[in-house]
Amino acid sequence: MNAHAAARRLFVRATFVVSSILAASCGEGAKPPEVPAAASSSAAPPALARVPATWRFDLKAAPASGRDGMVTSDAADATRVGVEILKKGGSAVDAAVGVAFALAVVFPAAGNVGGGGFMVVRPEKGEVRALDFRETAPAKATREMFFGKNDASLVGHLAAGVPGAVAGLWEAHRTYGKLPWKDLVAPAIRLAEEGFVVDEGLAEIVRDRAADLARFPASAAMFLPGGKPLGVGAVLKNPELARVLSRIAERGAPGFYEGETAKLLVEEMKAGGGIVTAEDLAAYRPVWRTPVEMGYRGHKLFAMPPPSSGGLVLAFMLGVLEGYDLGKMGFLSPEALHTTVETSRRAFAKRNYFLGDPAFVSIPTGEFLSAEAIKEARASIDPAHATPSSEVGPGRGGANEKKHTTHFSIVDRNGAAVALTTTINTSLGAAVVVRGGGFLLNNEMDDFATEPGKPNVFGLVQGEANAVAPGKRMLSSMTPTIVVGPDGAVQIVTGAAGGPTIISAALAVITNVLDHGMGATAAVGAPRVHHQHLPDQIFMEEGGVPEDVLRALGARGHKFEAWDAIADAPSIVRGPGGVWAGAAEPRNKSGLALGL
């Protein structure tokens, strides 16, 4: 027995229960159940029958619609920038560049030039591709650099990885752009110069992180004017960031990784004890990768491969779930929720044990994609009882609800699509604004397994595959995903923000559409749940799961914790007649979907 097979048996050593229920629903060779076609706006009543009447989002509201394109993001100003670019004949990638730079200005909690991310592109012609512009560990990074240091991987200069965002956008435009680069960055420059109005979401984040921001002069000057956190209605102008963006507009990626901006970043690092150097910046390169491809209910899904865990974990979960008739079980039924969280429990155990940067570790894709691995996991799910996580895989952890990261989805008039997720990790990253640069440093080093047995900020305890090493990309949960229908046209563009809950949200949007027949509004706004193996409990949204369902799950042995919100997943769904339906994330009040 090889090491991977032995490890897989560790993850599925729960009692193999093949009851008549399980055999009927997922027997080998069973034909996947028929599923309803996606609706254009709201789900048919049966799909939403179990959603509590007091649920805080209107699941039957009409989505944004358009025949010639759609943009949905976490900031209204950024969405408008993307739509204007599409109206001028820009490609989906052109619009993505404009939206990303606009988010760096008006959504500073997660939008960035000092972070990184992942993009899945379905071009007008050609194959779906995945672009990795994840941050990397600096050359001076060591395995032990965070041992015994409380928050050093979260706050301050040492927490920052080498940024990849600008290089990634530059490479995407070089490959698929149509409009001039300068024209795509110009709207963000204008927003930085003229300022934007602070909303309650940003004001709350600044209040939450005021103590961290106060430690750094430039951060305090920007977010704590007069010693008080920015309030709702304040206008935040950022002339320093405008100058950084102007250099990027003039020179492309070299305008960030070389010259004045690079000098400012390196000086900030030296002043604060950071280790990112000019050589690190000059050496950074984004990487085109082959996306993870999977089939589900007659559709093809394309998602990010490692160093994002999203694609493989999502593929494994969908592979297991295809053996069940979720539509017949019913949305929010005890059976559907039990099956989904048991699948997620197994998927996250594998994620935390096996995955890391493929340039440094061998990725056993068969553990996630092979028929044998999926069959074993499916057979290990007892339909009547929760499997203790201690019987599924090793490790321990806690959970954290902090919001961070931002995702946006775009389609253009030619049917090309972009799903892009970008981040500086936690909200406002390392809390360090680069002096003279006006942008925040990321705190992505915390996404490594920084110390054995120590959970990261999201409660994930990860294996040696994700240990810190120079030049290494840290493991991520970002899951930008494009779903192509049986006719070869894009059906769903999705992804999310929210740490490990990203994967659960992407799964929810996809199954809500393909299994439950929901349209964009309901698919995004419906109640969500999450299970990440450890801690051994279901995280659910407050008021989203009916009491009788909770009792039924409790009888199976599940434990619960209620959160205000799980993830943030602005998505696009193709409706009847090829009309695009876009949904902003209702959990994020600043988002907007616009069609054309």
- Out of 79, 340, 343, 405, pick the active-site residue: 405
d(CA 481, CA 303): 5
- The token duo for 49 is 């029958």
CB 479 within 8 A of CB 192: no
| Position 261, amino acid | T
Helix (H, G, I), strand (E, B) or coil at 419: strand
In the annotated binding site for L-glutamate, the residues are 134, 423-425, 447, 476-477, 499
> Is 405 noted as a catalytic residue in this protein?
yes
d(CA 57, CA 525): 6
CB 325 within 8 A of CB 333: no
- The token duo for 125 is 């012609």
Of 255, 272, 94, 274, nearest to 184 by C-alpha is: 94
Helix (H, G, I), strand (E, B) or coil at 462: coil
Task: Sort residue 328 into left (φ over 0), alpha (ψ -120 to 50) or beta.
Answer: alpha
In the annotated binding site, the residues are 134, 423-425, 447, 476-477, 499
- The token duo for 414 is 């030619």
d(CA 381, CA 16): 7
Of 481, 483, 475, nearest to 358 by C-alpha is: 475
**CB-based contacts of 228: which residues, under 8 Å, 6+ apart?**
none
Of 299, 301, 294, 298, nearest to 494 by C-alpha is: 301
Instruction: Provide φ and ψ at 439, rounded to 5°.
Output: -125, 155
Which of the residues are catalytic? 405
